[in-house]
């Protein structure tokens, strides 16, 4: 079962570049792993980031492909 909010976001994600979709899939996999290994308790910072991301998605604010590429490149260097 998917919530309405998740369904709406998933529809938007289909238009994201493949790298951004893969990054989100990695995050979802991490959450899924945490859920199957016990209760997942997000930190206050994670909750704030989730809320911020959902507000931005609801407002139609998304990163450009170039911004996503730059962010992923930075993460790969770490």
Backbone angles phi, psi at 63, to 5 degrees: -70, 150
The tokens for 2 are 């998917």
The whole model's pTM is what?
A: 0.45
CB 6 within 8 A of CB 54: no
CB 50 within 8 A of CB 42: yes
The tokens for 46 are 């994670």
| Percent residues over pLDDT 90 in the chain | 68
| Percent residues over pLDDT 70 in the chain | 99
> Mapping DSSP to helix (H, G, I), strand (E, B) and coil, where does residue 1 land?
coil
> Mapping DSSP to helix (H, G, I), strand (E, B) and coil, where does residue 15 land?
coil
Does residue 38 surpass a pLDDT of 90? Answer: no
């Amino acid at each position: 079962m998917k919530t309405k909010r998740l369904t709406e976001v998933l529809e938007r994600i289909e238009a994201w570049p493949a790298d951004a979709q893969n990054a989100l899939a990695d995050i979802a996999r991490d959450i899924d792993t945490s859920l199957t290994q016990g209760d997942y308790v997000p930190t206050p910072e994670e909750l704030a980031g989730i809320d911020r991301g959902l507000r931005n998605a609801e407002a139609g604010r998304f990163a450009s492909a170039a911004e996503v590429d730059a962010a992923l490149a930075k993460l790969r260097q770490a």
